[in-house]
Amino acid sequence: MNTDELIRTLSANVPPVRRHALGRRMALGLMAGSLVTLAIVAAWLGVRPDLPQAMHGFSFWMKWSYTASVGVIAVAATIRLARPEVRSVGWLWLLALPILLLAGVGLGELADNPARDWLAMWLGRSWLVCPWLVLSLSVPIFIGLLWSFRRLAPTRLRAAGAVAGLAAGAWAAMFYCLHCPEVSAIFVLTWYSLGIGLAAALGALIGPYFLRW
C-alpha cells in the first residue's frame, strides 16, 4: 500500500479522543484486573471472618495504607511510562516514605515486645505463603494493565513492565489484606514487600516481550 492510500484509510476512521483518555484507560485495566483478584480472594482464599472488627484496629489500616501508597505511586509511574517521551521518574524515590514509616512502626513494635517473641512476629503464621499469594493475585491486575498499554506507547519497555508489575503487586497486596490475619509491621514490611517486589521483578522480566508494539 502506498503512503497516500494508507493516510486515506487511516483518516476514514478518526474517533474523538476524550480528555484524560490515558488515565481512563489505565483505570479501566486496573479495575478489571482488580475485580478478578477480588473475586479470587473472596471465592478461594476467603475474607477473614473478623474483618469488621479488624477494620477498627490499627494493623489493618497500617497494612492498607502501606500497600495503597505504594500502589498509587506505582500507578502514577506506570501512566508516565505509557507515554513515549523519555521523562524522569525520579520521584519513585517517594516509595522510600511508606517503607521508612512502616519500618519505624516495626521498630516500635519490636521495642514494645520481648525479644523472644520477635521471630514469631516476623514470621507470623503465613510467611511461607504470603509472598507467593501476593504474586499470584497480582497476575490478573498485571494482565489488566497490559490491556491498557495496547493503545499506548511505552518506549522503555523494561521500566514500564517493572512499574506495572509493582502497581499490580501493590494492589494485589491491598486485596490480600482482606484475607490475611497477620498483625505485625515487620511481617508486612518483609513478606508483603517481597511479594510486591517479586511482581515488579516479573514485570521487568516479561515487559519487553509483552509491551512491544
Partner 1 sequence: MQQSEDQLRAWMTGGMDGDAAAHATLLRALVPMLRSFYRRRLAGAGDDIEDLVQETLIAVHTRRESYDRARPFVAWLYAIARYRMIDHLRRRRTTIPIESLDDILASEGFEDACAARIDVARLLSVLPSKQARAIRDTHIDGLSVAEAAEAADIGQSDVKVSVHRGMKALMGRIRGERA
What is the radius of gyration, based on Cα positions, of the chain? 20
The count of residues interacting with partner 1 (CB under 8 A) is 27
CB nearer to partner 1: give 56 or 212.
212
Between the CA atoms of 43, 45, 50 and 51, what dihedral angle is there, to the nearest 10 degrees? -70
CB nearer to partner 1: give 132 or 213.
213
- Is residue 97 a contact partner of residue 69, using CB atoms and an 8 Å limit? yes
Report how far apart, in Å, the C-alpha atoms of 66 and of each of 133, 192, 193, 213 are: 17, 10, 10, 34
For 129, other C-beta atoms within 10 Å of its C-beta total 14
Calpha distance 28→147 (Å, rounded): 9
User: Among residue numbers 134 through 163, which ones bind partner 1 (CB under 8 A)?
Assistant: 151-153, 155
Query: At closest approach, how far in Å is the CB of 19 from partner 1?
Result: 7
Q: Is 3 in the site for partner 1 (CB under 8 A)?
A: yes
DSSP labels for 9-55? HHHT------TTHHHHHHHHHHHHHHHHHHHHIIIII---TTHHHHT
CB nearer to partner 1: give 4 or 112.
4
CB nearer to partner 1: give 41 or 159.
159
Q: Is 85 in the site for partner 1 (CB under 8 A)?
A: yes
Q: Is 75 in the site for partner 1 (CB under 8 A)?
A: no
Query: At closest approach, how far in Å is the CB of 45 from partner 1?
Result: 35
Q: Is 28 in the site for partner 1 (CB under 8 A)?
A: no
Binding characters for partner 1, 93-112, by CB under 8 A (x = yes): --------------------
Cβ-count burial of 53 within 10 angstroms (0-12 exposed, 13-18 middle, 19+ buried)?
Answer: exposed
Q: Is 52 in the site for partner 1 (CB under 8 A)?
A: no
Query: At closest approach, how far in Å is the CB of 5 from partner 1?
Result: 10
Q: Is 126 in the site for partner 1 (CB under 8 A)?
A: no
C-alpha cell at 25: 484507560
Binding site for partner 1 (CB under 8 A): 1, 3, 6-8, 10-12, 14-17, 19, 21-22, 25, 82-86, 151-153, 155, 212-213
